[in-house]
Amino acid sequence: MTSSPALISAFAVVWALTLACLVLLVCRWSRPSNAAPRDRGGVDGMGGEREA
């Protein structure tokens, strides 16, 4: 027996979470950064014109 099953399971969980976080970071960093900022002035937060 090389190691306890609990230690192997804990390592697998940490490894999977680390990979998921890395994928999310790569997706966030790969977005174009020169896009025009969205208009956040709407009442509902969706942009557009404000009602008077």
1-52 pLDDT tens trace: 567 999 999 999 999 999 999 999 999 999 876 655 565 555 555 655 656 5
How many degrees, rounded to 5, is the angle at CA 29 between CA 38 and CA 33? 40
Indicate whether 40 belongs to any domain.
Answer: no
Indicate whether 50 belongs to any domain.
Answer: no
Stated pTM of the model: 0.51
Indicate whether 22 belongs to any domain.
Answer: yes
What is the count of structural domains for the chain?
A: 1
Output the pLDDT for position 31: 81
Indicate whether 12 belongs to any domain.
Answer: yes
Q: Which residue segment(s) compose the domain that 13 sits in?
A: 1-28
17, containing H or E segment: helix 5-29
Indicate whether 3 belongs to any domain.
Answer: yes
Output the pLDDT for position 24: 95
Output the pLDDT for position 49: 60
Output the pLDDT for position 46: 60
Q: For residue 9, how many other CB atoms are within 10 A of its CB? A: 10
Indicate whether 35 belongs to any domain.
Answer: no
Indicate whether 8 belongs to any domain.
Answer: yes
